[in-house]
Amino acid sequence: MTERLYLYDTTLRDGQQTQGVQFSTEEKHQIAEALDHLGVDYIEGGWPGANPTDSAFFAEAPKTKARFTAFGMTKRSGRSAENDEVLAGVLNAGTDSVCLVGKTHDFHVTTALGITLEENLENIAKSVAHLGAQGREALFDAEHFFDGYKANPDYAIACCKAAYEAGARWIVLCDTNGGALPGEVYQITLKVIEAGIPGENIGIHTHDDTGNAVANSLAAVNAGARQVQGTLNGLGERCGNANLTTLIPTFLLKEPYKSTLDTGVTDAALADMVKVSRMLDDILNRVPLRSAPYVGASAFAHKAGLHASAILKDPSTYEHVPPETVGNARIVPMSNQAGQSNLRKRLADMGLEVSEKQDLGRILDRIKQRETEGYSYDTAQASFELEARRELGLMPQFFEVERYRATVERRRDAKGKVIHLSEVTIVVNIGGERHLSVSEGIMADGNDGGPVNALSKALVKDLGPYQDLIGDMELVDFKVRITNGGTEAHTRVIIDHEDSQGRRWSTVGVSSNIIDASFEALLDAVLWKLMRDGAQALGAE
Ligand SMILES: CC(=O)SCCNC(=O)CCNC(=O)[C@H](O)C(C)(C)COP(=O)(O)OP(=O)(O)OC[C@H]1O[C@@H](n2cnc3c(N)ncnc32)[C@H](O)[C@@H]1OP(=O)(O)O
Ligand SMILES: CC(=O)C(=O)O
């Protein structure tokens, strides 16, 4: 027998309380659609009436299978629920479900609201009853509940009971300041159940200020709570909310949850978890967190030689779940932590079957030597492939760069405005024919006319017979690190490119000069593309 566990998403409300996050109405629609596809039970859209974006979003609310929910606060003292204009703004959104936050910590009632404890109980009860009278499903977010319980358990429970007895479907225990720990969340949730509010009416809303938001949510569920609130990628006020991108796979893939609880998320939707997580990062223009549980790019990356060796025999040796269940992928990167197992796997993925131990040993030595010089191949897999081919004598010679020159200049234009000028000249020999390309960039008001951009444009401007093959390359990311390779400081540049086939590849360059390091990474990017697309090697005479 399984029990229903309800998932309540607050990305569009508490997620929007993240510093630096401001969703547009359009983005809210996009996120709501992705959440609905995932199969959560509730989507909290925001606080209608609190700001123009939320009001506009509720005015054209998305049609979702999930219960689309408006958020607000309990009525204020000195007026009736019917006459509270903030509450009216929330109700006017016309949603079937409404979640109201109310105080449950005596200190907040007297200090933040400045009213008596009795008045607060009445405000909670009257607000919830008003929702019921309007035919709405009521949820009560018991703000500061765990801190309130520790300070005055009877009063904190009385607040929850006031809401429950007034007809609230859910009493959501909130760790508003995020300071609670799993043991106490478990014990206090049990106390609420003992006080007469059944677990099937209890929700949990946690924040990650001690890094325990997910653990605290699980603790409440272990005690009997049957609704979990959280956000995609753990977005939220301060350190964030409980991360649904972590919790959902845990509920579907881990015991005891897997065989005792049902959520509305199917296995097929779970396999889109990485996609949904990346969609949110794209909207926020954030680099996805590589180490994110389940969905991070490194969540199934096996860097150490001992791990890679065992993974090749059976992936479960170093994986807690199969990556494809959440739409992720296994990678075995190359680095100075690697052994021949990593190498064989990487080479096989590239279509190179290398069985000679001597060949493998030489490639490994070459990679490890270059890593001591400042190169890094665990992300720059395209450069790794080129190095392996060079060591095996399998790297075609497409062309030779005879020389390049890059100049940068900072001066004022006729109006006295500071501008930066970059000019790059490259001479390339292709099959005995010399091609000269010049590119220049002017950088003013922050546009992209810097020297690396000019270098990139010059390199791909005229590669003669190869031009058609490289025309769709786009530089999409550029990272610079200062490293200590050997005795001197070096600049390491990692560049990501994409092409129209949807491929993304990373290359690395290292030099004491940032322009030269960039040039090396750009050149590798072009060579990798030509090699992968089967370009004919014309050499350089
Ligand atoms: C724990 C949470 O994350 S709850 C969600 C919090 N989210 C937000 O605050 C974002 C949206 N909020 C807003 O846009 C604004 O705060 C509004 C529109 C709701 C209110 O704005 P204002 O009227 O200017 O009030 P302001 O924000 O300064 O202060 C909040 C008021 O609500 C009162 N209040 C706070 N919680 C409650 C409550 N649960 N019930 C009743 N009143 C409350 C406060 O005492 C304060 O009243 P005061 O000004 O008389 O002291
Ligand atoms: C309601 C809410 O967001 C909190 O208490 O954290």
- pLDDT digit string, tens, across residues 231-250: 999 999 999 999 999 999 99
Q: Name all domains of the chain by residue range, CATH numbers in brackets.
A: 10-261 (3.20.20.70), 400-532 (3.30.160.270)
Return d(Cα 83, Cα 535) in angstroms, integer: 74
The pair of three-digit structure tokens given for residue 36, joined into one six-digit string: 């609905």
Can you tell me whether residue 116 is helix, strand or coil? Answer: coil
The pair of three-digit structure tokens given for residue 243, joined into one six-digit string: 């991360």
Question: Which ligand is nearest the CA of 127, by number?
Answer: 1
Q: Which of the two residues, 503 and 539, has the higher pLDDT score?
A: 503
pLDDT at residue 263 is higher than 60: yes
Return d(Cα 386, Cα 370) in angstroms, integer: 13
For residue 209, the 8-state DSSP code is T
Q: What angle do CA 505, 509, 515 make, to 5 degrees?
A: 115
CB 461 within 8 A of CB 439: yes
Interval 447-460: pLDDT, tens: 556 888 889 989 98
Q: Which residues of 70-79 are buried (b: 16+ CB within 10 A; e: fewer)?
A: bbbbbbbeee
Ligand 1 centre to CA of 420 (Å) is: 48
The whole-number pLDDT of residue 245 equals 98
508 C-beta neighbours (distance < 10 Å), count: 25
Interval 80-118: pLDDT, tens: 999 999 999 999 999 999 999 999 999 999 999 999 999
Angstrom distances, CA of residue 447 to CA of 151, 412, 441, 444, 476: 56, 16, 9, 6, 15
Place 285 in a pLDDT band, splitting at 50, 70 and 90: confident
CB 37 within 8 A of CB 272: yes
Angstrom distances, CA of residue 519 to CA of 24, 464, 529: 39, 19, 16
Place 539 in a pLDDT band, splitting at 50, 70 and 90: confident
Tell the residue nearest (CA) to atom 41 of ligand 1.
76
Ligand 2 centre to CA of 71 (Å) is: 11
Q: Which of the two residues, 435 and 285, has the higher pLDDT score?
A: 435
The pLDDT of 111-133, averaged and rounded, is: 98
Place 178 in a pLDDT band, splitting at 50, 70 and 90: very high
Contacts of residue 54, Cβ cutoff 8 Å, sequence gap at least 6: 45, 46, 47, 48
As a residue count, the chain comes to 541
Tell the residue nearest (CA) to atom 11 of ligand 1.
50
Q: Is residue 50 within 6 Å of ligand 1 at its C-beta?
A: yes
pLDDT at residue 67 is higher than 90: yes
Ligand 1 atom with the smallest distance to the CA of 176 is 1
Q: Is residue 47 within 6 Å of ligand 1 at its C-beta?
A: yes
The whole-number pLDDT of residue 227 equals 98
Q: Which of the two residues, 210 and 329, has the higher pLDDT score?
A: 210
Q: Considering the chain, what percentage of its residues have pLDDT values greater than 70?
A: 98
> Which of 330, 328, 357 has the alpha carbon at shortest distance from 344?
357
Return d(Cα 98, Cα 172) in angstroms, integer: 13
> Which of 226, 148, 235 has the alpha carbon at shortest distance from 184?
148
What is the Cα Rg of the chain in Å?
29
Crossing angle between the packed helical segments 213-223 and 182-194, to the nearest 10 degrees: 30
Angstrom distances, CA of residue 9 to CA of 155, 236, 270, 373: 28, 11, 15, 47
Best residue among 44, 47, 122 to mutate for probing ligand 1's pocket (most ligand atoms within 8 Å of CB) is 47
> What is this structure's pTM?
0.81
Return d(Cα 299, Cα 290) in angstroms, integer: 7
Interval 313-355: pLDDT, tens: 999 999 999 999 999 999 887 777 778 888 888 888 888 888 8
Return d(Cα 203, Cα 226) in angstroms, integer: 6
Return d(Cα 96, Cα 134) in angstroms, integer: 10
The pLDDT of 376-399, averaged and rounded, is: 93
Amino acid letter, residue 104 = T
The whole-number pLDDT of residue 447 equals 52
Ligand 2 centre to CA of 176 (Å) is: 5
Return d(Cα 471, Cα 498) in angstroms, integer: 11
- Complex ipTM tops 0.85: yes
The pLDDT of 396-418, averaged and rounded, is: 92
pLDDT at residue 66 is higher than 80: yes
Q: Which residues of 9-42 are buried (b: 16+ CB within 10 A; e: fewer)?
A: bbbbbbbbebeeeebebebbbbbbebbbebbbbb
**Average pLDDT over the chain, rounded to an integer:** 93
CB 493 within 8 A of CB 524: no
Question: Which ligand is nearest the CA of 122, by number?
Answer: 1
Per-residue three-class SS string for 120-164: HHHHHHHHHHHHHHCCCEEEEEEECHHHHHHHCHHHHHHHHHHHH
